[in-house]
Amino acid sequence: MLFTHVVGARPNFMKAAPVIAKLGERRDVAQMLVHTGQHYDSSMSQVFFSDLGLPTPDVNLGVGSASHAKQTALVMIRFEEVLQDRRPDWVIVYGDVNSTLAAALVASKLHIPVAHVEAGLRSFDRTMPEELNRILTDQLADLLFTPSVDGNENLAREGIPSSRIHFVGNVMIDTLVRLLPTAMAAWPKLKEELALWTRYGLLTVHRPSNVDEPQTLRSLIEVLQKIGADIPLIFPVHPRTRQRIMSLDLVTPISGIQFIEPLGYVDFLALQGNAEFVITDSGGMQEETTYLGVPCITLRDNTERPVTVAIGSNKLVGNNAERLVHEAQLILDGAATKGGIPPLWDGQAAGRIADQMTKVVGQCGAA
């Protein structure tokens, strides 16, 4: 039984790692890892393979950066060749990036069954490329593994048979639980390297809606500077954001904000776990902060992870500067609402996925 996992961009790696590990414990399972090459900088890709203990990819499609159409098409063309050559029994795709949809579409057309890990999430905002990727991947998938019950409800509403849908919990949290002790052990060294002697907020931003339009980005940096006057903000900068900021010709240095290179998984987890709060437009960080009990302010009007808002750890502020400052101030005053941990975010999700896959394929029992 050959399972082919497809990863391409940074948020895929921490989702695939625990599933590969758990399937690897089963009898009669062979696995192949395909990296599409959507992310290729060492700081966006390679460092995650070593931090997470992921196997070296069997194939790298080397697609790199391009427009959505070109990037998706290149993955399709090159992945089709791999599938025709190797004919795996299942293709497993993760999350909502362009590589996810491209791989699911190619496999489905070759009649190779597809499993989607992190299925069912919806922001109901079709201007987000990820939302289109989610909807279409879920329509194509034969097995859908959801991280939260809202995912099951969304899929049912879209007419997906319940027999295909399995609520297994959050695989990202499996990786977090496994590597949190390593991150905490790495913290003293990182703290010293970054000279983080006071409390700080952690900032990340990379969504097209926040960084692609120069005036939006300029206004955002201005309000972040205001917050940075009260508490320093540390900002690992995504390559896409770096390019956009450079083109703004801002007066530097930007006080209150410490710009650093993107970090690997372990260091970033340490930085997140020790922050007073996080300001972000990332999807994964809304979940990680929820687990860590770190307040999260999300620079979006909507989220495909509503459970993080319902449970109280995540506040959506969109691009409303006043609300952003207000939420940061509440946290600094110790008045932020406390959150909790959603059901099945317990570090065991990948085991449930492996159990379910095993049942469905019916050929490979526990070793």
* Interface contacts to ligand UD1, rule CB under 6 A: 9-11, 38-41, 44, 65, 96-98, 129-130, 206, 238-240, 243
For residue 351, the minimal CB distance to ligand UD1 (Å) is 26
Q: Which is nearer to ligand UD1, 22 or 35 (CB)?
A: 35
Is the Cβ of residue 39 or residue 166 nearer to ligand UD1 in the bound state?
39
Helices (H) and strands (E) in the chain, counts: 15, 13
Q: DSSP letters along 18-78, please?
A: HHHHHHHTBTT-EEEEEE--SS-STTTTHHHHHHHTPPPPSEE----S--HHHHHHHHHHH
* Least spacing, CB of residue 74 vs ligand UD1, in Å: 12
Minimum separation from the CB atom of position 284 to ligand UD1 (A): 8
Tokens of 270: 């340490």
Number of C-beta neighbours around residue 198 at 10 A: 8
Q: How far apart are CA 287 and CA 285, in angstroms?
A: 5
Supply angle C-alpha 85, 365, 94, rounded to 5: 50
CB closer to ligand UD1, 240 vs 323: 240
The beta strand positions in the chain, using DSSP E, are: 2-7, 30-35, 59-60, 90-94, 114-117, 143-146, 165-167, 201-204, 233-236, 257-260, 277-280, 296-298, 314-316
Cβ at position 119, least distance to ligand UD1 in Å:
15
Closest contact distance (angstroms) between CB of 34 and ligand UD1 is 16
Catalytic residue of the set 39, 116, 166, 206: 206
Describe the chain by its helix, strand, coil percentages, rounded to 5.
50, 15, 35
Give the separation between CA 233 and CA 224, rounded to whole angstroms.
Answer: 8
CA angle 203–204–206, rounded 5-degree value: 150
Q: Report the residue number, 105 or 336, with the smaller CB distance to ligand UD1.
A: 105
Q: How far is the CB of 266 from ligand UD1 (least distance, A)?
A: 17
CA–CA separation, 321 vs 307, rounded Å? 24
Q: Does residue 201 contact residue 275 with C-beta atoms inside 8 Å?
A: yes
The first and second tokens of residue 69, run together, are 């159409």
Q: Which is nearer to ligand UD1, 13 or 167 (CB)?
A: 13
Confirm whether 206 is a catalytic residue: yes
Measured from the CB atom, is 114 or 231 closer to ligand UD1? 114
Shortest Å distance, C-beta 43 to ligand UD1: 8
8 Å CB contact between 272 and 291:
no
Kindly tell me which of 31 and 204 has the beta carbon lying closer to ligand UD1. Answer: 204
Residue 95: name the closest of 126, 125, 131, 64 by CA.
Answer: 131
Structure tokens at 145: 């593994």
The residues carrying an active-site annotation are 206
